Amino acid sequence: MRFDALPLVDDTPASRPRIERRAVRRTSGGTTFYEVASRTVLDRVPEATGLGIAWAVSPYRGCAHACLYCAGRRGHRYLGLDGERDFGSAIVVRTDVAKRLRAQLASPRWGGETVGIGLNGDCYQEAEEVYQLMPGIVAALRDTGNPFRVMTKSSLILRDAELLAEAAQVAEVEARVSVGFVDDRLRRAVEPGAPSAQKRLELCATLGEKGVPCGVLMAPILPCLTDSEDQLRAAVRRVADAGAVSLTPLVLQLPPGSREWYLRWLSEEHPRLLPRYEELYGDGPHAAADYRARVVGRVAELARLYGIGTRRAPWQPRRTADRQLALL
């Protein structure tokens, strides 16, 4: 009779992703969720992102849309996950995000800056159907009258349209739907899990009808692929037709973590463009400044031509009993 030595544990900590050492791991279909608690949920946003916000809250890290260019892929490396393979199927969930957010908003040190929601993973991706964290986040911001922007590609945001409209009555609120281009064949290649541009633009129009101001984050504009005059004009025209209240253009950024995957795809599908990308980006994450200025400037001209834009009243801080009691 032969006996095999059996390990006392199935896996050793060194061979498991670091995130598993402090998270509750659950699986559903082909997706793994890592549930974590956070001491702080308001994260600094680098000015270089071009989003015009200094703070963000992200209930999820990782994203089922699995966009090839997403800068959030880099964060998966720090968790011991694979930025390419795991980004769309291993989702970190901040289960106590609403509670922690209320506490931070109630702090005397908080100055009421605009908060972005959903930078490290779409806040209305499929995980939100399970965890339903967004109503608590929106309610916390509404109750303190704090301005915020919700960034998404998902129609699940319509579930919270009434709550968002309520928040828009007491604070500067804007949904921003990400539509970088309107070429659906290209979308299937670089945004494999995301809905079509048409569906996202319809979402923008529907939110506006429901009393939720909705703008478009025209990001990313892909050099040599979606930056021609015809392509820019077609995208801006359709954004205007959707009733968007704002348009924010952003040229593709290639930070470490997404740069590798995007350039590998480019070398396979559009190898002739690699020399131009090397010229534009070199070893850095941003395209050459003159190129960015030209493209962003042209989009701004088209936005004026098609009448995109609106005026907003300044934010006024709103203190409530709920905000005071949140510290207790």
Q: What is the spatial distance between Cα 243 and Cα 306, in angstroms, rounded to a whole number? A: 10
Give the CA dihedral 305, 164, 147, 171, nearest 10 degrees. 90
pTM of the predicted protein model = 0.86
Of 109, 165, 110, 113, the closest CA to residue 139 belongs to: 165
Q: Judging by beta carbons within 10 Å of its beta carbon (0-12, 13-18, 19+), is residue 179 exposed, middle or buried? A: buried
Distances (CA, A) of 144 to 168, 171, 175, 188, 286: 12, 9, 18, 40, 36
Residue whose entry in the numeric block shows the structure tokens 């939720």:
212
Q: What is the spatial distance between Cα 74 and Cα 247, in angstroms, rounded to a whole number? A: 27
SS3 content of the chain, % helix, strand, coil (to 5): 40, 15, 45
Per-residue pLDDT averaged across 310-323, rounded? 41
Task: Give the confidence band of 104 by pLDDT, cuts at 50, 70, 90.
Answer: very high
Task: Give the confidence band of 78 by pLDDT, cuts at 50, 70, 90.
Answer: confident
> What domains sit in the chain, N to C, each tagged with a CATH number?
18-306 (3.20.20.70)
Per-residue pLDDT averaged across 258-274, rounded? 95
What is the three-state SS of 49-71?
HCCCCCEEECCEECCCCCCCCCC
Question: Would residue 4 be called left, alpha or beta, if left means φ above 0 and alpha means ψ between -120 and 50 degrees?
Answer: beta
Q: What is the spatial distance between Cα 195 and Cα 175, in angstroms, rounded to a whole number? A: 17
pLDDT at residue 4, as a whole number: 35
- 223 and 177 Cβ atoms separated by less than 8 Å: no
Mean pLDDT across the chain:
88
SS3 state of residue 38: coil
pLDDT at residue 16, as a whole number: 73
pLDDT at residue 15, as a whole number: 60
Single-letter amino acid, residue 193: G
The answer on pLDDT for 72 being more than 60 is yes
pLDDT at residue 50, as a whole number: 83
Residue whose entry in the numeric block shows the structure tokens 């980004």:
87
Q: What percent of the chain lies above the pLDDT cut of 70?
A: 90
Q: What is the pLDDT of residues 179-227, one digit of tens each?
A: 999 999 999 999 999 999 999 999 999 999 999 999 999 999 999 999 9
Q: What is the spatial distance between Cα 102 and Cα 143, in angstroms, rounded to a whole number? A: 9
Per-residue pLDDT averaged across 302-307, rounded? 96
Q: Where are the alpha helices (DSSP H) in the chain?
A: 73-78, 97-105, 126-131, 134-143, 161-168, 184-190, 197-209, 229-241, 259-269, 274-281, 289-305, 321-325
The answer on pLDDT for 320 being more than 80 is no
Would you state the structure tokens that stand for residue 183, as one six-digit string? 């070429």
Q: What is the spatial distance between Cα 213 and Cα 251, in angstroms, rounded to a whole number? A: 24
The answer on pLDDT for 10 being more than 50 is no
Single-letter amino acid, residue 92: V
pLDDT at residue 52, as a whole number: 87
Q: What is the spatial distance between Cα 204 and Cα 154, in angstroms, rounded to a whole number? A: 10
Q: What is the spatial distance between Cα 230 and Cα 227, in angstroms, rounded to a whole number? A: 8
Q: What percent of the chain lies above the pLDDT cut of 90?
A: 76
Cβ-based neighbours of 290, under 8 Å, separated by 6 or more: none
Single-letter amino acid, residue 172: E
Task: Give the confidence band of 285 by pLDDT, cuts at 50, 70, 90.
Answer: very high
Q: What is the pLDDT of residues 17-67, one digit of tens each?
A: 888 888 899 998 889 999 999 889 999 998 878 888 999 999 999 999 999
- 50 and 65 Cβ atoms separated by less than 8 Å: no
The answer on pLDDT for 279 being more than 80 is yes
